[in-house]
Amino acid sequence: MYSIGELSKRTKVKVPTIRYYEEMGLMAQAERTDGNQRRYDNAGLERLSFIRQARDLGFSIEAISSLIELQEHPDRSCEAATNIAVPQLADVRAKIKRLKTLEKELARISKACDGDGISGDCYVLEALADHGLCDRKH
Amino acid sequence: MYSIGELSKRTKVKVPTIRYYEEMGLMAQAERTDGNQRRYDNAGLERLSFIRQARDLGFSIEAISSLIELQEHPDRSCEAATNIAVPQLADVRAKIKRLKTLEKELARISKACDGDGISGDCYVLEALADHGLCDRKH
DNA sequence: CTTGAACCTCTAGTCACTAGAGGTTGTATA
DNA sequence: TATACAACCTCTAGTGACTAGAGGTTCAAG
């Protein structure tokens, strides 16, 4: 049996976050000692690891809740899990695309101003202030 | 002079968000009509556009506040603006890197489960549950 | 037995918004 | 001039995923 702190160390999920996940229903209510401290078995450790993995992959608490329900009902279609994972993949791809655009623009404005000037002539500030200027330079 | 709604339409920033930016100090307190409605001049429109651009580039409210202060003090070094933009660029690059890793992993688990099975044999769920399995397959 | 780390619940805060209640204003139209 | 309705106002509280801290209790090592 693990205390919440031990669970935290093993999964790298913070103690308050574990409590939060319990409140959100992702973790089952833990058994308690006579002193009201949570104690987790291996199933609890596995559940938290699952949650951690999914969070790291960007799944929302809600999506993880759905995945967990599927896990608890092995008779349900795997399609349901894929229906959660595939939009998540699309979301990640959209974010990458957007961030690449941002990167390009930030790189442009960062490079163009080498820090020599005064802010009155600052290209960073000008680029933010004048989107028309930005467009022309693309 | 623009009403807040007109400003919103021109900048695509929502009305409550404009009020929020005023509360956060990014927008100057607007002039008011006798009926207490905000009215903005072209300087207000330009300021909001600046804020919108910077937000779109991922700058935090705090960073934008600093950029605005630089803008209002043209005697200050352009270096200060670059010192805000360059870490932002680094942050975006780090995010891209992380998202690409996530994309790869999500693509792998999404593809491997074609939705034919039942969730008891679901690769999506297995991959989330067993990080060791994940490692072995890389 | 003592001590201090780790535990508990509860409240509220973070960030960047967003929603809605209840009331007022501005403007177009009849 | 009166009416109607969209747009405005402030205020409170909520969203999502945490995070922080107060005040108190428990656990385990020495």
ipTM for the assembly: 0.79
- pLDDT at position B134 is 36
A56-77 b/e (C-beta count within 10 Å ≥ 16 → b)? ebbbeeebbbebbebbeeeebe
- Least CB–CB distance from A96: residue in B78, B96, B114: B96
C-alpha separations of B85 from A91, A117, A122 in Å = 26, 15, 12
Residues of A in contact with B86 (CB under 8 A): 110
CB contacts of B96 in chain A (<8 Å) are 96, 99-100, 103
Could you list the pLDDT tens digit for every one of the 138 residues in chain B? 899 999 999 999 999 999 999 999 999 999 999 999 999 999 999 999 999 999 998 899 999 999 898 888 877 767 788 888 888 888 889 888 888 888 888 888 777 665 555 656 677 777 777 653 333 333
The CATH number of the domain covering residues in B1-76: 1.10.1660.10
A34 touches strand D (CB under 7 A): yes
- Strand D positions within 7 A of protein Cβ atoms: 7-11, 16-21, 25-28
State the count of interchain CB pairs (< 8 A) between A and B.
171
What is the rounded CA–CA span in Å between residue A3 and residue A40? 6
Interatomic CA distance for residues A86 and A98, integer angstroms: 18
* DSSP code per residue over B28-51: PPPEE-TT--EEB-HHHHHHHHHH
Residue B18 corresponds to which tokens in the numbers above?
Answer: 């404009």
* CB proximity A53–strand D (7 Å threshold): no
Write the secondary structure of A76-104 as one string of H (helix), E (strand) and C (coil): CEHHHHHHHHHHHHHHHHHHHHHHHHHHH
For residues B127 and B109, the answer to whether their CB atoms sit within 8 Å is yes
Verify whether the Cβ–Cβ distance B89 to A78 is below 8 Å.
no
CA-CA distance, B67 to B46, in Å (whole number)?
14
Q: Per the CB < 8 Å rule, is A124 touching B78?
A: yes
Domain ranges of chain B: 1-76
CB spacing of A124 vs B77 below 8 angstroms: no
Separation between Cα atoms, residue B24 and residue A13, nearest integer Å = 32
Nucleotide nearest to B51 (CA to C1'): C16
Tens-digit pLDDT profile for chain A (138 aa)?
A: 899 999 999 999 999 999 999 999 999 999 999 999 999 999 999 999 999 999 998 899 999 999 898 888 877 767 788 888 888 888 889 888 888 988 888 888 777 665 555 656 677 777 777 653 333 333
Interface contact B115-A82, CB threshold 8 A: yes
Could you tell me which residues come within 8 angstroms of residue B119 by beta carbon, excluding any fewer than 6 positions away? A70, A71, A73, A74, A75, A76, A77, A78, A80, A81, B125
Residues of B in contact with A60 (CB under 8 A): none
Distant-in-sequence, close-in-space partners of B37: CB < 8 Å, separation ≥ 6: B3, B4
Q: Quote the distance between the C-alpha of residue B82 and its chain's center.
A: 19
A61 touches strand D (CB under 7 A): yes
